[in-house]
């Protein structure tokens, strides 16, 4: 039986109205999962209900994770059905949208609240959105170099900004609760999210290589991110894990190692890389989860 043939799960998805969630949730629904969206803004998509929830309030987080998905649950007379997994994407999604302290406080508090509530409610699978910004260059002051390539999950993450720092703290929170409760906690270091209508931007990426340095010349198609989430939901027993959530290839036409020698010469290449392997590598997601990208940028440009 393939993963796509296994029974669907009951999933609570936070932040599903956002750029990534509005593509990931439809993917999960297509795979037979039942999804409740927790967000501050409704998501107008058939088959998914939004519960308006402020996850920086621990009481709201606890209650939202222990409610009926919709009114049909009332007919059982047995209370809310168990939740199989929580996917936590809700956040202030970037630097400079709110004051730095608000970004840090909101992202750290909401993640702590969701993880604490989920584990104490007995939910055994929690997937959180971490970020490419943990690698320290995306929102850095000035022209900062990466330590080495490829960027893999054992990298010494060193962001200097409030957003990237909040994501590092969230990974540590997930690790702590995984140790305490024996829960599967998977943190996805999500690359620059590309929606289907945004591929017209790629010619400019190729023409101006340095414009993509802060994203490590990598990206994740929002639909392929849905696949990664689905694979995480279905793969049990890994404890705490970090996965780079990106597509396979570099956003350039030149082979990766030659490109990096040209455009980032002070960062060593620590292992042989595939001809067009993304500098922010998804090798672990491919090998451990079985991720197979469906939306290589070259199909659309």
* pLDDT tens per residue, range 150-166: 999 999 999 999 999 99
What number is the average pLDDT over the span 28-33?
98
Angle at 85 between CA 81 and CA 88, to 5 degrees: 125
Does a cis peptide bond (omega within 30 degrees of 0) precede residue 166? no
According to the model, what pLDDT value does residue 4 have?
54
CATH superfamily of 3-299: NAD(P)-binding Rossmann-like Domain (3.40.50.720)
pLDDT-derived band of residue 7, with 50, 70 and 90 as boundaries?
confident
How far, in Å, are 16, 20, 127, 179, 246 from residue 27 at the CA level? 12, 11, 16, 30, 16
Mean pLDDT of 20-44: 98
Give the start-end residues of each E strand in the chain. 10-14, 34-39, 49-52, 85-88, 125-131, 184-190, 193-194, 220-221, 240-245
Tell me phi and psi for residue 197, to 5 degrees: -80, 0
Angle subtended by helix axes 100-120 and 162-181, to nearest 10? 10
In tens, the pLDDT along 90-145 reads: 999 999 999 999 999 999 999 999 999 999 999 999 999 999 999 999 999 999 99
Q: What confidence score (pLDDT) does residue 1 get?
A: 43
pLDDT at 5 over 70: no
Q: For residue 192, give Cα distances in angstroms to 19, 29, 217.
A: 11, 23, 9
- For Cα atoms 82, 288, 114, give the angle at the middle one, nearest 5 degrees: 35
What is the rounded distance in angstroms from the CA atom of residue 158 to the CA atom of residue 165?
Answer: 8
């Amino acid at each position: 039986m393939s993963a796509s043939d296994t029974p669907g799960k009951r999933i609570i998805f936070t932040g599903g109205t956002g750029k990534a969630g509005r593509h990931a949730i439809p993917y999960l629904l297509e795979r037979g999962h039942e999804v409740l969206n927790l967000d501050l803004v409704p998501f107008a998509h058939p088959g998914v209900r939004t519960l308006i929830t402020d996850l920086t309030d621990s009481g709201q987080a606890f209650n939202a994770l222990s409610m009926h998905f919709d009114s049909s649950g009332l007919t059982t007379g047995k209370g809310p059905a168990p939740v199989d997994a929580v996917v936590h994407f809700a956040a202030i999604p970037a630097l400079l949208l709110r004051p730095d302290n608000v970004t840090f406080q909101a992202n750290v508090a909401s993640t702590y609240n969701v993880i604490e509530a989920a584990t104490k409610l007995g939910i055994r699978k929690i997937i959180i959105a971490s970020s490419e910004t943990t690698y320290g260059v995306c929102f850095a002051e000035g022209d900062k170099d990466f330590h080495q390539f490829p960027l893999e999950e054992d990298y010494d993450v060193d962001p200097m900004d409030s957003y990237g720092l909040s994501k590092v703290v969230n990974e540590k929170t997930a690790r702590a609760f995984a140790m305490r409760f024996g829960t599967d906690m998977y943190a996805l270091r999500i690359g620059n999210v590309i929606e289907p209508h945004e591929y017209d931007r790629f010619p400019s990426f190729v023409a101006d290589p340095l414009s993509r340095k802060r994203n490590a010349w990598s990206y994740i198609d929002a639909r392929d991110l849905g696949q990664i989430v689905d694979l995480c939901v279905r793969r049990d027993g890994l404890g705490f894990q970090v996965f780079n959530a990106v597509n396979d290839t570099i956003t350039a036409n030149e082979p990766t190692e030659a490109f990096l020698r040209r455009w980032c010469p002070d960062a060593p290449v620590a292992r042989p890389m595939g001809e067009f392997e993304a500098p922010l590598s998804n090798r672990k997601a491919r090998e451990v989860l079985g991720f197979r990208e469906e939306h290589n940028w070259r199909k659309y440009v």
